[in-house]
Amino acid sequence: MIKTINSAENLKGKIKVPGDKSISHRSVMLGSIANGTTHVSGFLTGDDCLSTIDCFRKMGIEIKIDGTDVTIHGKGLHGLKKPNETLDVGNSGTTLRLITGILAAQNFDCHITGDSSIQKRPMDRVSRPLSLMGASITGNSGEKLFAPFKISGRKLKAIDYTLPVASAQVKSAIILAALYADGTTTITEPEPTRNHTEIMLNYFGANIKNDGNKIICGPVEELYAKDITVPADISSAAYFMAAGIISPDSDITIENVGVNPTRTGIIDVFKEMGADITLENEKIICGEETADINVKTSSLKGVEIGGKIIPRLIDEIPIIAVAACFAEGQTVIKDAQELKVKETNRIKTVVEELKKMGANITETDDGMIINGGNPLKGAIVDSHGDHRIAMSCAIAGIMANGNTLIENSQCVDISFPKFFELLDSLR
């Protein structure tokens, strides 16, 4: 699908964006291995989270979807059944990495795969620690592991493991496997990453502790189903935060957004760039901090982004790059090599597509350099099948002179069904 974006200003309104992708995935996974029924409201019915539901249904879990309400009939820690066919995670790295942690401990073998993008994403970062726990994960014969692969469930042993890269997906895979291990597992993170797995597991009755940069997780007897309200996804809110900040005469409030401190790097960066952002109506729901986020048109200045903050805004870098095009001066993004192993190599795809629109942006080995202040012009751009590239191009498009055509735009459905409709409703 090709989507045409016209320039726009005067974006005003109170909006709701869909539920958090990370929390929605985890609600299905934990709901499936808990005892009892979990009712989830505000679930993200994007393609990625539907892939997670599909995998657990194939393992005998009854899951009902009614709009954004999802009901999961959990069967306990040992209640999953061997699937009759290969599990398919589609485009979802979170599904693949986290589910591998659960499958490593089951009493059956299964095969797992995903789409062409997923088959290029590194899986040895998960198979290495899980193998140390005694798991058997076998795939291509090379040194690095990619999907498709086979997971043969084993009795697992506890480990002490230092993550070589800051990754919540890898951390979560180990935590999920540790639920089934024979002792206490300790994971050391190089930088703090999103902690939704820990929060939700404790909400379900586990006892995961944090000690500085260590996560300590013991095995559990069982998990207890509990109802979950999923906050709106800050990674989806990010596009509308950027739109409200950079487009003239705008004032947007995004309601009930998850503002877990492990996810709010974008707020810190936009504030440092000079944006007018306020958080209102702050609450804690199911252990997760939430707030309404208000943004108003602001003059931005370039900043340097790197180090510890990167995992707190890793998915927002494409849209931060768009905002930086409209900032006075230079923005340098560094220490973001992880972008190379996302749905696309996002250093490359962001730079390539924004250049087509006339941006002064240069690729570096671990990020990019953007010289702001060059007006953007409408162009034909390509999402490369990456949802976050499609949405970032759309926001660049509303600020460009002339129309922008986004090729392969339907991929927004991965994390944000109805993204374009919501953008249109603000005009």
Burial class of residue 366 (count of CB atoms within 10 Å of its CB; 0-12, 13-18, 19+): middle
Burial class of residue 338 (count of CB atoms within 10 Å of its CB; 0-12, 13-18, 19+): middle
Rounded Cα–Cα distance for residues 23 and 277 (Å)? 24
Who contacts 352 (Cβ-Cβ below 8 Å, separation ≥6)? none
Nearer to ligand S3P, 75 or 121 (CB): 121
Give the x-and-dash track for 20-59 against ligand S3P (CB under 6 A): --x-------------------------------------
How near is the Cβ of 417 to ligand S3P at its closest, in Å? 17
User: What are 18's two structure tokens?
Assistant: 């869909």
Q: Which residues of 1-21 are buried (b: 16+ CB within 10 A; e: fewer)?
A: eebebeebeebeeebebbbbb
Site size for ligand S3P (CB under 6 A) = 11
Sign of CA dihedral 384, 390, 392, 394: positive
- Name the residue with the smallest CB distance to ligand S3P: 22
How near is the Cβ of 177 to ligand S3P at its closest, in Å? 15
Rounded Cα–Cα distance for residues 254 and 17 (Å)? 7
Q: Is 194 in the site for ligand S3P (CB under 6 A)?
A: yes
User: What are 57's two structure tokens?
Assistant: 């249904």
Nearer to ligand S3P, 194 or 384 (CB): 194
User: Which residue type, as a one-letter code, is found at position 241?
Assistant: M
Q: Within 10 Å of residue 29's Cβ, how many Cβ atoms?
A: 25
Give the x-and-dash track for 295-324 against ligand S3P (CB under 6 A): -------------------xx---------
Q: Within 10 Å of residue 85's Cβ, how many Cβ atoms?
A: 8
DSSP state of 262: T
- Asked if 413 is an active-site residue, the reply is no
* Order of strands, sheet of 251-258, starting from the edge strand that comes earlier in the sequence: 12-15, 251-258, 288-296, 276-285
How near is the Cβ of 266 to ligand S3P at its closest, in Å? 13
Identify the active-site residue in 20, 48, 88, 315. 315
Nearer to ligand S3P, 217 or 357 (CB): 217
Q: Tell me the sheet residues that pair with 66.
A: 69
How near is the Cβ of 168 to ligand S3P at its closest, in Å? 4
Nearer to ligand S3P, 43 or 326 (CB): 43
How near is the Cβ of 125 to ligand S3P at its closest, in Å? 8
How does DSSP assign 14-35, residue by residue?
EE--PBPHHHHHHHHHHHHHSE
How near is the Cβ of 235 to ligand S3P at its closest, in Å? 7
How near is the Cβ of 127 to ligand S3P at its closest, in Å? 14
- 151 to 170, contacts with ligand S3P by CB under 6 A? 167-169
Nearer to ligand S3P, 167 or 297 (CB): 167
Peptide bond into 148 cis (omega under 30): yes
Burial class of residue 249 (count of CB atoms within 10 Å of its CB; 0-12, 13-18, 19+): exposed
How near is the Cβ of 416 to ligand S3P at its closest, in Å? 13
Rounded Cα–Cα distance for residues 323 and 274 (Å)? 11
DSSP state of 405: E
Binder of ligand S3P out of 115, 338, 352, 363 (CB under 6 A) = 338
Q: Is 94 in the site for ligand S3P (CB under 6 A)?
A: yes
Rounded Cα–Cα distance for residues 276 and 9 (Å)? 17
- 219 to 258, contacts with ligand S3P by CB under 6 A? none
Instruction: Note whether 225 and 34 are within 8 A (CB).
Output: yes
Q: How many CA atoms lie within 13 A of 107 on its CB side?
A: 5
Diameter of the chain measured on Cα atoms: 62
Give the residues lining the site for ligand S3P (CB under 6 A). Answer: 22, 94, 167-169, 172, 193-194, 314-315, 338
- What residues are annotated to the active site? 315
